[in-house]
Amino acid sequence: MRYVGSVYRPPSEARSLIVQVTYGCSHNTCAFCSMYKEKRFAVRPLEEVLADFREARRLYPRVEKIFLADGDALVRKAGELETILDTVRELFPECGRVTCYASPDSVKLRTDGELQTLRAKGLTMVYMGLESGCDAVLEKMQKGHDVAFIVEMGKKIRRNGIALSVTAITGLGGPALLEEHAVETAAAFSAMDPEFIGMLTLMVEPGTPLFDWVRDGSFKLLTPAEDLRETRLLVEHLDSPGSVFRMNHASNYLALRGTLNGDRDAMLAAIDRAAADLSLLRPEEWRGL
């Protein structure tokens, strides 16, 4: 198994076989993100990808979940993705789930028919970053898309039968856009009604524009209490029946989990308990990415 640079995966892929089918992120300019700064985006040669799968088959007796890394696997040509999925099915008949990250741009590239074929060949879920449902926040953070486009691409994934997991980041609007960020992010999630909603909490990574903005004072971070207020507003405004809401990442001050809309009140009560006793929050020095 050969890996180039640091490899990232969603928390729920901790036990997955991870194979890079692309390197890096095709966008790579979000102001808060340092993940793939060390490498240029590239499509990995198909033969190398297939060779890694063959080697994994020799190494691992049982592989139930596979994550196709890096940042934007769906950007590969549909025919090559089909070859990868066919190979996975042939080599790992026991594998019940294949997932990848996808950018809104790569979802746009794929036709409905291509997405349906990928689903039929075993692509079960894609992870997409919304980051914020507020256009002013997305623009400031150089996301490269507006909210309407990301929501449209999320709906496209779902209508073609592929499950969708979408993430956003608390604190991304700072105190200035706290309310808009919370309420409009809830609206964007609700419009997509994804299978999974994941919330990260903003971390400031060296080497990013955000790091410089925080240092020069042009971007203010939320306090933990403000972050809780924003989270409460977000949860209060979510209307996404059946979506599993997860806020259990190492970056989060407060761990929350529930299925919407039924568990919304219980999650609000947990937020209120933490707001009344901030010692229930993860200490700043324990937070991480």
- Residues near ligand SF4, by CB under 6 A: 25, 27-28, 30, 33, 35-36, 71, 103, 129
The residue (of 16 and 103) whose beta carbon lies closer to ligand SF4 is: 103
Closest CA to 74 of 99, 35, 45, 106: 106
CB 80 → ligand SF4: shortest distance, Å? 21
C-beta closer to ligand SF4: residue 103 or 117 = 103
C-alpha pair distances (Å), 2 with each of 5, 9, 14, 56: 10, 16, 18, 11
Rg (the chain; Cα; Å): 19
Distance of closest approach, residue 236 Cβ to ligand SF4, in angstroms: 26
Give the neighbor-by-neighbor strand order of the sheet with 97-101. 17-20, 65-69, 97-101, 123-131, 163-170, 196-201, 244-247, 256-259
Smallest gap from residue 150 Cβ to ligand SF4 (A) = 11
Minimum CB separation from ligand SF4 for residue 273, in Å?
A: 31
Measured from the CB atom, is 160 or 167 closer to ligand SF4?
167
Q: Locate all alpha helices (DSSP H) within the chain, ordered by sequence.
A: 46-59, 78-91, 104-109, 112-120, 135-140, 147-159, 178-192, 209-216, 224-237, 264-276
DSSP, res 251: T
Nearer to ligand SF4, 104 or 224 (CB): 104
208: DSSP letter: S
Nearest distance in Å: CB 90, ligand SF4: 30
**Shortest distance, position 168 Cβ to ligand SF4, whole Å:** 11
Cβ nearer to ligand SF4, comparing 41 with 80: 41
Counting Cα atoms < 13 Å in the Cβ hemisphere of 136 gives 10
Nearer CB in complex with ligand SF4: 24/174: 24
